[in-house]
Structure 1
Amino acid sequence: MTRLSVNINKIATLRNARGGNTPNVCKVALDCERFGAEGITVHPRPDERHIRYQDVSDLKALVSTEFNIEGYPTRDFIDLVVKTKPAQVTLVPDPPEALTSNAGWDTVKNQAILIDIIKEFKAAGIRTSIFVDTNLTNIEGALTTGTDRIELYTEPYATNYPINKEEAIRSFVVAAKKAHELGLGINAGHDLSLENLKYFHENIPQLDEVSIGHALISDALYYGLENTVQMYLRCLK
């Protein structure tokens, strides 16, 4: 079974644009769980332009499904995660000034750094995942870091899906097979949507979890949050 984790960053973006506490990030997280989501994902950044560090603490006290904190491993981020102790931490190689995640880790070049960081998280009892592309060298390198899972960066798949879905999925199938052979769990995220999620899921049977934010929250503007969560869940059946 592939879990759906809803990334609620965009809810925080909307709240921060006006100030105050509308929409309420915690209420939306609880509603997503109530509507069937099996996880909640947040990506706090140093400038707190969407999810704030206080949000992370508030959500930890409320979320009853799997709580996933993703982000670039600055010292402040590492300390926040160790203090919060989510079910999972996902390490993303996007520097603080990046608009959004746009690449996976070079796990060979960053091997020593990732080993040290992952060791700290695992000592705190937190499952680890690292963002990677479909380059098999990076997937093999991920194994040496000690991570429990990888998260496949799916923007290239989403971009090419409308052009040639068979070609778009090809490298992801190979990458997922290699990761599974190595004993790594497999997550996926970035630009997955109602248009392309079902096909991705059908072709990657080893998939443990998908993390979806921008498309799901955007769809909720038209379909309503409860209906949208259910629509995404049906793509994973």
Structure 2
Amino acid sequence: MNPEERLKNISQSDIRKAFDKTCEDIGLTETKLELVTEDRYPEVLEILRDCFINDEPLEKSLQLQWSSEMAGVWLNALQHNMSILLVNNENNEIIGVRVIRVTRKTDQFEKDKCKDEQVLKLLNFFDYTTDTFDFFRKYNVSEIFEFFGLGVVSKYRRRGYGTLLMEAGVKLINNLEIKPCFIRGSASSNFAKTIFEKCEFETVADFPYCDYNVEDCIVFDDTGEHKSMTVYSKCLE
């Protein structure tokens, strides 16, 4: 079976086997990794809401509010059943989440169903970045693994947990033994960029917020110290 056909048909048992190997590789003691399962969705969505609505520069610039449409975007990614939680062993609190999905060249956000204008602005920007820099064409593939989002609960930040979740995500995909394969990630904040670069992702594109205009208006006009979205790539061979 060709590698791209396998991306379409990864079984839950394949993911579980790769996840168990990842846990062995990392060997945590005070924390533990879990695969995101359906019963955890409400907690995970709450963490993603808090992390992205309150802290991410694009969402803050748009003054975006959490809505069923925003939750739906994240839920769609979680349903790929590849996302990872980091959990505190002492109190079973979720520390953070690494959202992982398989993305196909033909995948599109369902923008025609979107009624929330601010969510639509965000999705339009994501489409602009993917259309402007064709990741699939660059690497001559039709499917990739995508690091769709990374969130760490505020009380647990600045302890290296974001980097740990990033490394665990890479190990999980590596342990699926589907090679060669590509991981795409994007970072809208300087903090996320630092983590991608620490984990040796390659910078492949950069989109300054001041250059993104719709009807002669800058869409993201208040992003503070965060000036661009950077697209990253990692090839596993």
Which structure shows the higher strand fraction?
2
Question: Do they fold alike, i.e. is TM over 0.5?
Answer: no
Report 1 or 2 for greater relative contact order, CA contacts < 8 Å, sequence distance ≥ 6.
2
